[in-house]
Amino acid sequence: MVRSDAVPDDLVVVVRAAPASVDEAVDDIAHDALQSGRTYAVLDEAGRREALFGVSTFAHRPGVSLLTVLARFDDAPSYLEARVGALRAAGFKVLPTGTNLDHFDVQLLPGQGDDDADEPMLAVRTAATRLVAAAGELRLNPTYHEESDRTLEEE
Amino acid sequence: MGNTSANQWLVEQVDRELVDRLAAGHVANPRSTEMGVDILGDPHREDDEGLNWARLSDARRVEDVVPGSAVVMGSSIGRYLAKVIAWDFEVSDDDPIITMELLPVRPSEVAKLLGRNRTSAA
């Protein structure tokens, strides 16, 4: 479901709570966008169905602590954040999706029919790389704690 | 199968026959097996109802991710406890969407809690 609310250029979104490296973040985004594309479709401006190679993002609104936005992701050492305008300038659509008013999907690859037989893996990975570049450097996640479920498992 | 939702493809109760049919064709997701989790997922995802989702093909075993089950969801940014809410067959008869509610408690916290409250043998 795409909501009808406007998505202003100056809205800041947490693009992703991320692993420790840019390469891992790109892998992660590409994998999740492909899974989204296999599962969901949206209508484009002309009313045609297109696969939603979506990356779930969350608004970081003025007055809301980053700790609140990232609370769920305290196993992630880093995160990516960007203004919607910067994402649009990089060629991405930002769609207000679902019932959560703070949830948005970045459409990585617009214009792909949802019944196309060939999965555009390379194009999605290239777009994921562009998305990470548009969001700038990985930032340290202030909610990250060292003794995570990952490190406990590895001990 | 039982359906209490307006979405005709959504199934909140499954019978043994359906589980067996899907299990017969299921290949354990190699990454979920490697990570030792019930299902792979992305904790950022939200569907139209605000629930998290994955696909059955992301799971290690079909039997472990039926609606009502508590599961451990693995991701590149940690493990999450979740409750499976429903299976949604809208996009596939064989690889339904698994809708899950992420629980606000960490797997390690549950392990500590259970350890602290283990009943001692009489």
In contact, B62 and B23? CB cutoff 8 Å = yes
Which residues on chain B are in Cβ contact (under 8 Å) with A75?
77-79
**How much is the pTM?**
0.89
Domain range list for chain B = 10-116
| Separation between Cα atoms, residue A69 and residue B111, nearest integer Å | 26
Share of chain A above pLDDT 90, in %: 83
Half-sphere exposure of A154 (CA within 13 A, CB side): 8
Roughly how many angstroms between the first and final C-alpha of chain B, as a whole number?
42
User: B115 touching A, CB under 8 A?
Assistant: no
Confirm whether A51 is domain-assigned: yes
Confirm whether A149 is domain-assigned: yes
Instruction: Write out the DSSP string of A29-72.
Output: HHHHHHHHHHH-EEE-TTS-EEE--EEEEEE--TTS-HHHHTGG
Interface with A, mutate which of B7, B44, B89 (most A CBs under 10 A): B44
Confirm whether A60 is domain-assigned: yes
A56, B42: Cβ pair inside 8 Å?
Answer: yes
pLDDT over 70 at B47, yes or no: yes
| Separation between Cα atoms, residue B79 and residue B59, nearest integer Å | 14
**By residue range, what is the domain housing residue A32?**
12-154
Which residues on chain A are in Cβ contact (under 8 Å) with B44?
16-17, 32, 55-58, 73
pLDDT in tens, A17-40: 999 999 999 999 999 999 999 999
CA distances from B43 to A25, A94, B16, B20, B53 (A): 14, 19, 29, 28, 9
Confirm whether A2 is domain-assigned: no
Task: List the structure tokens of B82.
Answer: 């979740």
ipTM confidence:
0.88
What is the per-residue pLDDT for B122? 54
pLDDT over 80 at B6, yes or no: no
pLDDT over 60 at A146, yes or no: yes
In contact, A35 and A124? CB cutoff 8 Å = no
Q: Which of A88-92, B47-51, B106-110 has the lowest mean pLDDT?
A: B106-110
A99, B49: Cβ pair inside 8 Å?
Answer: yes
Confirm whether A54 is domain-assigned: yes
B50, A98: Cβ pair inside 8 Å?
Answer: yes
A39, B97: Cβ pair inside 8 Å?
Answer: yes
| Separation between Cα atoms, residue B85 and residue B51, nearest integer Å | 9
What is the per-residue pLDDT for A138? 96
Which residues on chain A are in Cβ contact (under 8 Å) with B115?
none
pLDDT in tens, A68-83: 999 999 999 999 999 9
Which residue type sits at B55? Answer: R
Confirm whether A7 is domain-assigned: no
Rounded to a whole number of angstroms, the distance from the CA of B75 to the nearest CA of chain A is 9
Task: Look at residues A38, A55, A35 and name the one whose alpha carbon lies nearest to residue A128.
Answer: A55
**Total of domains in chain A:** 1
